Amino acid sequence: MADSEPVCQPAYPAHAIAVDEEDVNLLQFAENIEHLEADYFLWGALGYGLDEVAPELVMGGPPPIGAKKAKLDSLTLNIITEFAYEEVGHLRILKRTVGGFPRPLMDLSAGNFAKLIDSAFGYALVPPFDPYHDSLSYMISCYVLPYMGLVAYVGTNPLLTGYYAKRVLAGLLGVESGQDAVIRAYLYERAEEQVHPYNHTVAEFTARISELRNRLAKCGIKDEGIIVPKELGAEKRTTTNVLSADADSISYMRTPAEVLRILYSTGDEHIPGGFYPKGGNGKIARGFLKKP
């Protein structure tokens, strides 16, 4: 047998397209989510954001509103620091692959998270929920973020044409899924703990947030808390729900419109608000915005 070097790269078809024209719009939409995660994790862990860590990725976009360092214990700090740098890498490969746009204006203030949690519970919590207050509060707030990337990327996957576009998205999806699993496992371990100073457990917080996202998206159940009724558990045999999945235990998927309805907190992809006071950027997000 002749000596040969081992093959380490996939053999793509000779005439295959690396990135199709429509792939560009779909992957650029993802940059909105990655910007949100990158700055939230960076600020929460390090006390500064993308402007300092990778200013070239900001592309002149405005700084986030209200972002600050969270009071994290060493375990949570290590987790969020890793997540933060992973998001920097995600933005870099996306912008290198399909180009980019300026970071959208994002509201990462405690007040914005408080409004979201109040909407989830249906009344104003006293004192207002503050994600930066302690490790548990911060991880509950993080429950909001990577899962949106996960379901968005599952929804994007069948729409891509180019082989390299699919490779990039699959890589993003793998890490976003991992982040979501870490957050959910962290919260599941504390499921019955009361979130001080409120009379609600961690499990209740996750259930209410998931129910809110389902209401905003208006497309049925695609989001579940860490404890569920058996009819929503794996094979309808568990109430444990460390991973959110459908009846066949595969990940749920969402369209860009659904994602924006949730992240805008308006239930309408045409009306910005929530995390994006002026809306997301890129052709897909801007295309939904109502003209004045």
pLDDT digits (tens, 9 = 90+) for 120-151: 999 999 999 999 999 999 999 999 899 999 99
Helix (H, G, I), strand (E, B) or coil at 32: helix
Low-confidence residues in the chain, pLDDT < 50: 1, 292
C-alpha–C-alpha distance, residues 179 and 131, integer Å:
18
Helix (H, G, I), strand (E, B) or coil at 65: strand
Answer yes or no: are the C-beta atoms of 135 and 72 closer than 8 Å. yes
Residue 60, Cβ neighbours under 10 Å: how many?
A: 8
- Res 15: pLDDT: 81
- Res 22: pLDDT: 95
**Residues in a beta bridge with 276:** 273
Helix (H, G, I), strand (E, B) or coil at 107: strand
Answer yes or no: are the C-beta atoms of 148 and 262 closer than 8 Å. yes
- Res 174: pLDDT: 97
**What are the φ and ψ backbone dihedral angles of 202, each rounded to 5 degrees?**
-60, -45
Q: How many residues does the chain have?
A: 292
**What are the φ and ψ backbone dihedral angles of 169, each rounded to 5 degrees?**
-65, -40
**What are the φ and ψ backbone dihedral angles of 107, each rounded to 5 degrees?**
-105, 105
Question: Structure tokens of 218?
Answer: 């208006």
pLDDT, tens digit (0-9, with 9 covering 90-100), for 144-201? 899 999 999 999 999 999 999 999 999 999 999 999 999 999 999 999 999 999 999 9
**What are the φ and ψ backbone dihedral angles of 100, each rounded to 5 degrees?**
-150, -175
Nearest to 118 by CA among 41, 209, 223, 216: 209
Cis ω on the peptide bond leading into residue 229 (within 30° of 0)? no
CB-neighbour burial class of residue 153 (10 A; exposed 0-12, middle 13-18, buried 19+) = buried
What amino acid occupies position 280? Answer: G
C-alpha–C-alpha distance, residues 134 and 182, integer Å:
18
- Res 13: pLDDT: 78
- Fill in the DSSP letter of residue 22: H
Helices (H), the chain: 21-46, 50-53, 74-98, 110-121, 135-142, 146-156, 163-189, 202-217, 256-263, 283-288
Place of tokens 């309808």: 236
Residue 22 CA from chain centroid, whole number: 22
- Res 1: pLDDT: 46
Question: Structure tokens of 290?
Answer: 């109502």
Question: Structure tokens of 241?
Answer: 């729900």
Answer yes or no: are the C-beta atoms of 62 and 103 closer than 8 Å. yes
* pTM value > 0.75: yes
C-alpha–C-alpha distance, residues 64 and 164, integer Å:
31
Answer yes or no: are the C-beta atoms of 117 and 129 closer than 8 Å. yes
C-alpha–C-alpha distance, residues 88 and 198, integer Å:
34
